[in-house]
Structure 1
Amino acid sequence: MGVMNELIDAQAVKTLSGILTAVAPDVTWERTAAAASLLGDLNLRARTDLVAGALVDDIRNSPGRGYPTAAASFRAALPVPEFTGWTLWPVSEAAATLCLESGSRQDFDDALALLTELTPRLTGEFAIRRLIARDPDRALAAVLDWTSHPDEHVRRLASEGIRPYLPWAVRVPALVQRPEATVPILDALYRDPSEYVRRSVANHLNDVARHAPDLVVATARKWLGAADNNTGWVVRHGLRTLVKKGHAGALEVLGFTPASVAVTGPHLDRDVLTIPGELTFAFEISNTGARDARLALDYVVHYQKANGTQSAKVFKISTLTLAPGESRSLSKRHAFRQMTTRVHHPGLHALELQVNGALHGRTEFRLEAG
């Protein structure tokens, strides 16, 4: 995260304070300017909070004080080309803070509009969540209107900003408790001409699958009934976690119905592996049924945890179709390297195959520290 932290560095904060001083001289932006020397070793989120707090303090100490002063100041900066990049994250957070302090419905609506103006410079997907948490119905009604906005960044914000499990973002309980509330927005965007927007829709659908899988499957089935050339990808990407979990409804929507197969393996190239290293496994699969078998092939690694238990993670191999009586031999390599996102612990691990959600051939191996 070191490089990510520098997305908001001292120079970026100085540039921001300089722009605001030039376009909004009625506010003394001294706290914002001073924040440039206070970043230290703070992570990106903490830097955002620091700069947002400084912006809020400067506005609170100005003659106008509240949200309207913030909105006017930030809008005045929009014509400046340098008013862009990651320092707009604290800008949007400051606007949200002052809007919520105001409690005015007019300020609430204007803050939503301000985010659509800022989001082409840097996404407003983080700040909007605090507005949704305050008044979900009012916010989502506005978001639904954005689905027809001419700017793809605003249309993407309509999907991305309301994802239930958006990375780095605060959780909004209403988005989890009422998963059906965002479906009309996704319905309006799944055939969007922009891949940037469609990818967000697919990721949003995948988020919802964590707590409302049946709703996701029903939505995917509906979209495939009114599909364009891109809908298949959106649905496959949106159902990817359910497919890995072997969810029968998701597999059926994608054409992976239960099949009669015989699986031999997996055969591992070694029983003991030293970190870092790679494990190669091979297997054979045959269609023993009387019809073509469309197959989703995955494998599951059961990782040893620090407490001695195991945790399973599913990885994709491929999809294929086998004619009756047809067999196919396949192999795959899996790397074991220490990463910031996964710490490997020595001990007993296991690997098994997953075919259309059904598990086959669990085989154990031992991982040793290098």
Structure 2
Amino acid sequence: MSASETAAPALKEIFNAERLQHIATEMSAVYPAFKAKAFLRHANDGLADLSVMQRMARVSESLHHVLPLDYADSLNVLRELAPRLNSGFVSMCLPHYVARYGAHAFDTSMEALKYFTTFGSSEFAIRHFLRSELERSLELMHDWTRDENHHVRRLASEGSRPRLPWSFRLEPVQADPLLAAGILDRLKADESLYVRKSVANHLNDVTKEHPEWVLDTVEGWSLDNRHTAWIAKHALRSLIKQGNSRALAVIGAGAKAEVELLDVKVEPTVVRLGETITLSFTVKSLVPVEQRLVIDYAIDYVKANGGTSAKVFKLKTLELAGFGVKDMQRSQQIKDFTTRKHHVGKHAAHILVNGERLATADFHLIF
């Protein structure tokens, strides 16, 4: 069996012909006058050439194309459809419908987004309302932070992220994190991990432009609450990777590591694209007291022009006993991604302990 035959299906196949038929069938169940054949013709036209997000948009456009109802009545039908769809991601075509056709009806549309987010997420759609009516949208989203449904609470944080993946940036929030600060403050001890991940990701976005603001914010929180402490740690992950002393101090690893690294090596020392390297070493404490250590590693990837670009990876956070010894090992496949292409040459693997580079081992990539 070839690699192409065993590869996972492309994400865009979430919206394949079978799924479109499912949507048509369920629409016909809730709205018997639904023109299923016309919907399928419109939705399937050129489907193979569309990305996953384009396919999601195509579904909402195709629904609008065949529904003879006004906006409010269309929403009533789509509300009945939402719980019948067999995929949370697919249900995101419904918030897209709201964003595409409901700009004229703010209150109705925002209430619809609140409802639809409980079946998947309205995070992409709500950004269109944030872009057009920022203050009004944020005020409503601030109220949602007290909603009993964790999907709604998450939408308040996720939808207002300045750098939400797969979406456009919210430039005003990117420039001034105070705009959404009230939302984050209300959610900083949320009992739902789903919500906490969003708050941490939102704050991690903010560290790209305003690291000191995020540090000031987190340092002002009471980290005795375990939910708040979890958010703080994950919100600061990029700064921790960078070795930021304030960020490391927040998680209790701000002190210089009193350790030495032994038997540092990368095996094999010569590797081809697609093969796996293993980085291994031993951490030995030099002091009689316990130390909290944040251990990361960075690889200097060779670029097309012969220079290098470092990428930091998380490895381990641990409490090392006085004069304790700990063996560490991490394997990593050297393969191309859409965001990283490999080039031949010497690559350096660095070990970072509490933000400080303490050892390096090299390997050579050949084709």
Aligned-partner SS, 2:151: helix
Residue 248 (structure 2) aligns with: 251
Q: Which amino acid aligns with 2:57?
A: D
The Cα shift of 1:23 comes to 4.3
Q: Which amino acid aligns with 1:11?
A: E
Residue 88 (structure 1) aligns with: 91
Residue 220 (structure 1) aligns with: 218
The Cα shift of 1:284 comes to 4.4
The Cα shift of 1:227 comes to 3.8
Q: Distance in 2 between matches of 1:158 and 1:237?
A: 18
The Cα shift of 1:259 comes to 1.6
| Aligned residue among 34, 40, 48 for 1:40 | 48
Q: Structure 1, residues 150-200: CA drift from partner, whole Å, max 9, x if none?
A: 112111212222222222223222221122222211211122222222222
Q: Structure 1, residues 100-136: CA drift from partner, whole Å, max 9, x if none?
A: 2x2xxxx112211101111112211111111111111
Residue 166 (structure 2) aligns with: 168
Percent identity, please: 32
The Cα shift of 1:361 comes to 2.5
Aligned-partner SS, 2:44: coil
Residue 61 (structure 2) aligns with: 53
Alignment of 1:145-160 (within 5 A): 145-160=143-158
Residue 235 (structure 1) aligns with: 232
Residue 306 (structure 1) aligns with: 304
Residue correspondences, number: 357
Alignment of 1:14 with 2:21, yes or no, is yes
Residue 128 (structure 2) aligns with: 130
Q: CA RMSD in A?
A: 2.8
Aligned-partner SS, 1:308: coil
The Cα shift of 1:84 comes to 6.0
Aligned-partner SS, 1:6: helix
The Cα shift of 1:56 comes to 3.5
CA contact (8 A) 1:10 1:37 kept: yes
| Runs of at least 5 residues in structure 1 that lack an aligned partner in the other structure | none
Q: Which amino acid aligns with 1:44?
A: V
Pair 35,340 (structure 1): closer, same or farther in 2 beyond 3 Å? farther
CA contact (8 A) 1:190 1:198 kept: yes
CA contact (8 A) 1:27 1:63 kept: no
Residue 176 (structure 2) aligns with: 178
Residue 116 (structure 1) aligns with: 114
Q: Distance in 2 between matches of 1:349 and 1:327?
A: 30
| Runs of at least 5 residues in structure 2 that lack an aligned partner in the other structure | 1-7
Alignment of 1:75 with 2:79, yes or no, is yes
| Aligned residue among 187, 195, 198 for 2:196 | 198
The Cα shift of 1:72 comes to 3.3
Aligned-partner SS, 1:97: helix
TM-score normalised according to structure 2 size = 0.86
Pair 85,363 (structure 1): closer, same or farther in 2 beyond 3 Å? closer
Q: Distance in 2 between matches of 1:294 and 1:73?
A: 56
Q: Structure 1, residues 222-268: CA drift from partner, whole Å, max 9, x if none?
A: 33x16423332222122111111111111111111232535345334
Q: Which amino acid aligns with 1:319?
A: T
Q: Distance in 1 between matches of 2:87 and 2:364?
A: 51
Q: Which amino acid aligns with 1:97?
A: R
Q: Distance in 2 between matches of 1:17 and 1:186?
A: 39
